[in-house]
Amino acid sequence: MTMKKQKSANSGKKNANQGHSSKKNNANSQDANDVRIDKWLWAARFCKTRAIARELVLSGKVQYNKQRSKPSKVVELGATIQIPAGFDYKTVVVKEVIGQRRGAPQAQLMYEETTESIALREKNAAARKLSIFHSPRPESRPDKKQRRQIIRFKHQ
């Protein structure tokens, strides 16, 4: 007799949970367009993994509308995001909000880099190229004789 009571109690719980799941489904359909910034960075192929994207945002290297944000920040259309790219930063404007990772050509359609950002990155790249000419490096490692000459020169 206790088994029948337990079964009926469990079936009552299932019915109660079914009511919540339909509410969750409605919430999920509304939140389908809500994508976290770490997930968007991963989907737009700025980071290889979501964990790396999360660390970028947590460390403060990614700025959302010129402000530091949390990884759970929801990305909106038209927002500006500043992302580190090598030695420079890319400033992009969000054109599409998708949480799924896609191919590179489709991912590039999710954002548009600002003209100021492109100009600044090109200027910095040119400056880095010029600085290489001002600090020349030897073509190979010094041999034994050259090392001795360097040591003598340093100790004069």
CA 154 from centre of chain: 46
- Of 121, 95, 89, nearest to 107 by C-alpha is 95
The reported pTM is 0.67
What would the two tokens of residue 103 be? 């191919």
Rg of the chain's alpha carbons, rounded to an integer?
Answer: 28
- Of 72, 33, 80, 79, nearest to 53 by C-alpha is 72
What would the two tokens of residue 75 be? 């990305």
What band does 22 get if pLDDT is binned at 50, 70 and 90?
very low
The tokens 């079936």 sit on which residue? 11
- Of 78, 74, 106, 107, nearest to 92 by C-alpha is 78
Mean pLDDT of the chain: 84
What would the two tokens of residue 100 be? 């799924």
Taking residues 74-97, report their average pLDDT. Answer: 94
Please tell me the distance from the alpha carbon of residue 131 to that of residue 89, in angstroms, as a whole number. 20
Three-class DSSP category at 93: strand
Taking residues 53-79, report their average pLDDT. Answer: 94
The least confident of 38-42, 133-137, 144-148 is 133-137
What would the two tokens of residue 73 be? 């920040």
* Residue 124 vs residues 104, 127, 128, 145, 150: alpha-carbon distances, Å: 25, 5, 6, 39, 34
